[in-house]
């Protein structure tokens, strides 16, 4: 399979993640554009079962079963992928920009000595191989990058492509690999679920975010209701996360998450640069702020000057009324 | 505990620009990367609790000194700066190799890195270094609890559904986040003391690295093009009373097919 494009996937609760399905779709698209073979790789205790679901998107799936015991660590995944890469010599690896995906990519870089293009917002085939679009400097520039050699690892952000099933599903091949190098082990002592953590904020197409203007933890109720009415999720600034009004999983910005929803509603958010860099590439930005001169006015599409406690409940009611 | 903190000097967020084609301008106006200050704070607290010292390690040109001095003023014992003209324009691969080579000259029980950088955005350098050095790699840390007597460390790692408790043997490399806590401000005393602290300067030669293996010529990634994104038209300002304002928002969202 020389020259192949591989999607390196992730299994959560027995199924490939949405981002993994997007990677498989992207691999198929690149393979068609470049007339190259493609495959997806899944490593986990239930890799073959998850592989059957992933194969619907087209690529053949190399399913590497590992001992039961929950989601494998990045080290366990990467050492097996590296062994497979040595055995079958693919050229390009697509890895998802999740926490686990970035860890796998970083470990693979250390094991294989390949270049990594990070933060891919789009990937298309060019005469120099995969050409990766990235938004840099908080969205002030968009770059197009390629690899210097005929190999490399691309870290792909959520929603760079839409997951599509293929006319013909791929095959699932169970493979057994011995990691050539055993990485230093990391033991998972416990996995703790927190209700507030499950926010797929990077994948959401609508985000309603609240800042210090919501006034306290209870103030998030009006934000949450509008998010629900719009079918979106709740975002936040660092100021309110630091204040303990909402969990870090919701934080958008420099040291939080970068998001690109179709609609971003910013309620009681000033629009500090460290917040702006995480959301300014959103499709449409609507700001609600008492202060007409808040910096967010400079990059919003609609600046509503007013009290969020007067605007949001009315807007929620109006959206609900339209939706019936 | 001896802790090495990987501290990158980055352009102030919002002021980044490119020079000489595709290189990030690092000629002035650098500060410590946000996440690296969080892990520095965590390192200082660990040393306060367990004894030992914090050493910072930076690969970066002369203007990185300001960020390094601040780290010393916050309480790091000494600093190592890798400076070499050949390094400008290095990619993540070369950066990881150089930092790993430098770490081989240092003694430590823990290496701390930031979860990612504001200019590189990769979040891959720490994992690559740990792999090269055979260190356990624990990432997205919200808390770090070493047990030096038992030779292990426990980390609370942010997960998609909450957090995982991870454990590994020391020495280990941990990449940390904002949840480690707000970095302290340097005290006046700290600033005075920093003046006499050592900043060792290492070159590629000191590390036995061939200059041809770093820099733009060796970079495995090539920027082909950089363009500003499409400009926004400027905000439509709505100042009416709430009921009318909401009608206008709804009309706007409908016109953009968002509801
Ligand atoms: C290293 C570093 C990293 C950082 N990372 C991040 C990050 O990832 N994300 C992030 O968000 N920030 C980050 N910050 C913090 C950032 O600088 C700002 O402090 C923060 O974004 C401000 O949050 P805010 O807009 O909620 O609060 P404020 O700036 O206080 O703004 C509150 C706004 O609410 C308005 N308001 C008040 N009451 C009402 C009302 N009733 N109705 C309508 N409007 C009202 C006010 O007019 C004001 O504009 C970082 C800072 C540093 C130094
Ligand atoms: N030039 C550098 N000097 C020191 N540390 C660095 C450098 N580049 C990256 N790092 C460390 O690696 C982390 C991740 O960087 P990155 O992969 O570029 O996002 C940073 O937060 C730093 O701790």
Backbone φ and ψ of A301, nearest 5°: -90, -30
| B80 lies in some domain | yes
The Cα-based distances of A272 to A51, A268, A298, B202 in angstroms read 43, 12, 11, 37
Domain boundaries, chain A: 5-174, 201-323
The mean per-residue pLDDT over the stretch B70-78 comes to: 98
Confidence of residue A1 (pLDDT cuts 50, 70, 90): very low
Residue B51: helix, strand or coil by DSSP?
A: coil
Which CATH number does the domain housing residue B158 bear?
Answer: 3.40.50.620
Separation between Cα atoms, residue A118 and residue A111, nearest integer Å: 17
Regarding the beta carbon of B117 and ligand 2, being less than 6 Å apart is answered: yes
pLDDT in tens, A53-83: 999 999 999 999 998 777 899 999 999 999 9
For residue B97, which ligand has an atom nearest its CA? 2
Does residue B126 have its Cβ closer than 6 Å to ligand 2? yes
Locate A123 and state its tokens.
Answer: 């990937």
Q: B147 pairs with which residues across the strands?
A: B152
Asked if residue B146 is part of any domain, the answer here is yes
| Residue of A17, A79, A101, A103 to mutate for B, most B C-beta atoms under 10 A | A103
Q: Which of B118, B158, B219 sits opposite A254 (nearest CB)?
A: B118
pLDDT per residue as tens digits for the range A248-261: 999 999 999 999 99
pLDDT score of A196 more than 70: no
Chains A and B form CB pairs within 8 A to the count of 283
Give the one of A115, A276, A311 whose C-beta lies nearest to B220's C-beta: A115
- In whole angstroms, give the CA distance from residue B140 to residue A261: 24
Question: What's the pTM value of the predicted model, to 2 decimals?
Answer: 0.95
Most confident of A139-143, B17-21, B138-142, B158-162: B138-142
pLDDT band at A9 (very low <50, low <70, confident <90, very high): very high
3-state helix, strand, coil in chain B (%, to 5): 35, 30, 35
C-alpha distance from A155 to closest chain B C-alpha (Å): 9
Within a domain: B237: no
- Chain A residue with CA closest to B256: the answer is A284
Residues of B in contact with A98 (CB under 8 A): 160
Domain A5-174, CATH homologous superfamily name and number: HUPs (3.40.50.620)
Distance, in angstroms, between B159 CA and closest chain A CA? 8
Give the length of chain B.
Answer: 259
A52 pLDDT exceeds 90?
yes
φ/ψ (deg, to 5) at A14: 85, -5
User: Mean pLDDT, to the nearest integer, of A155-167?
Assistant: 96
Task: For residue B92, give Cα distances in angstroms to A25, B99, B132.
Answer: 27, 10, 13
CATH topology identical between A5-174 and A201-323: yes
Calculate how far, in angstroms, residue A201's C-alpha sits from the geometric centre of ligand 1. Answer: 18
Mean pLDDT of chain B: 96
Q: Is the confidence at residue B177, as pLDDT, over 70?
A: yes
In a domain, B225, yes or no: no
**Quick one: pLDDT band at residue A323, thresholds 50, 70, 90?**
confident
Choose the residue to mutate in B4, B92, B117, B130 for probing ligand 2, maximizing ligand atoms within 8 Å of C-beta.
Answer: B117
**How many angstroms separate the CA atoms of B1 and B52, rounded?**
4
Model confidence pLDDT, tens digit, residues B118-141: 998 889 999 999 999 999 999 999
> DSSP label at A191?
E
Q: What's the gap in Å between the CA of A167 and the closest CA on chain B?
A: 30
Mean per-residue pLDDT, A40-52: 96
Number of domains in chain B: 1
Give the model confidence (pLDDT) of B215-256 as tens digits.
999 999 999 999 998 888 899 999 999 999 999 999 999 999
| Two tokens, residue B213 | 């293996």
Residue B258: Cβ within 10 Å count: 18
Q: What homologous superfamily does CATH list for A201-323?
A: TPP-binding domain (3.40.50.1220)
């Amino acid at each position: 399979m020389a020259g192949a494009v591989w999607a390196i996937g992730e299994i959560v609760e027995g199924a490939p993640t949405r981002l993994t399905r997007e990677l498989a779709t992207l691999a198929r698209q690149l393979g068609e554009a470049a007339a190259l073979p493609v495959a997806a790789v899944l490593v986990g205790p239930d890799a073959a079962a998850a592989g059957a679901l992933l194969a619907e998107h087209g690529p053949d799936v190399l399913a590497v079963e590992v001992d039961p015991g929950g989601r494998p660590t990045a080290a366990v995944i990467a050492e097996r992928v590296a062994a497979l890469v040595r055995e079958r010599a693919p050229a390009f690896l697509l890895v998802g920009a999740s926490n686990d995906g970035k860890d796998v990519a970083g470990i693979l870089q250390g094991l294989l000595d390949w270049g990594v293009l990070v933060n891919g917002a789009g990937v298309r085939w060019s005469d120099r191989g995969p050409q990766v679009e990235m938004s840099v400097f908080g969205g002030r520039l968009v770059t197009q990058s390629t690899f210097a050699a005929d190999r490399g690892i691309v870290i792909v952000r959520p929603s760079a492509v839409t997951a599509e099933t293929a006319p013909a599903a791929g095959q699932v091949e169970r493979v057994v690999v011995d990691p050539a190098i055993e990485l230093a082990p990391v033991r998972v002592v416990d996995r703790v679920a927190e209700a507030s953590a499950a926010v797929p904020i990077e994948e959401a197409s609508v985000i309603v975010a609240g800042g210090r203007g919501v006034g306290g933890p209870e103030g998030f109720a009006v934000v949450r209701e509008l998010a629900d009415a719009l079918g979106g999720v709740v975002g936040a600034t660092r100021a309110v996360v630091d204040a303990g009004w909402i969990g870090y999983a919701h934080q958008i910005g420099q040291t939080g998450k970068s998001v690109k929803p179709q609609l971003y509603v910013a309620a009681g958010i000033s629009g500090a640069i460290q917040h702006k860099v995480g959301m300014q590439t959103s499709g449409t930005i609507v700001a609600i702020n008492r202060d007409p001169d808040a910096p967010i006015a400079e990059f919003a599409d609609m600046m509503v000057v007013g009290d969020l406690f007067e605007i949001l409940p009315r807007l929620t009611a109006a959206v609900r009324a339209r939706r019936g | 505990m001896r802790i090495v903190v990987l501290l990158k000097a980055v352009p102030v967020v919002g002021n980044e620009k490119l020079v000489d084609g595709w290189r990030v301008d690092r000629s002035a106006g650098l500060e410590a990367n946000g996440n690296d200050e969080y892990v520095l704070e965590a390192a200082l607290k660990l040393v306060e609790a367990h004894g030992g010292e914090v050493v910072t390690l930076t690969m970066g040109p002369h203007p990185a000194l300001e960020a390094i001095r601040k780290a010393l003023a916050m309480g790091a014992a000494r600093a190592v700066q890798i400076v070499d003209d050949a390094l400008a324009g290095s990619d993540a691969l070369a950066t990881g190799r150089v930092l790993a080579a430098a770490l081989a000259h240092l003694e430590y029980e823990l290496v701390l890195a930031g979860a990612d950088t504001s200019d590189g955005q990769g979040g891959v350098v720490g994992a690559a270094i740990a792999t090269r050095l055979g260190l356990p790699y624990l990432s997205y840390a919200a808390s770090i609890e070493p047990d030096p007597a038992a030779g292990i460390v426990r980390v609370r790692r942010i997960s998609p559904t909450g957090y995982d408790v991870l454990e590994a043997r020391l020495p280990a490399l941990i990449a940390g986040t904002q949840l480690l806590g707000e970095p302290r401000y340097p005290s006046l005393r700290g600033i005075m003391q920093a003046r006499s602290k050592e900043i060792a300067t290492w070159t590629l030669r000191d590390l036995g690295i061939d200059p041809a293996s770093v820099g733009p010529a060796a970079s495995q990634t090539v920027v082909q093009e950089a363009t500003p994104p499409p400009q926004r038209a400027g905000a439509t300002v709505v100042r009416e009373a709430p009921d009318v304002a909401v009608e206008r928002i709804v009309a706007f969202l409908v016109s953009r097919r968002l509801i």
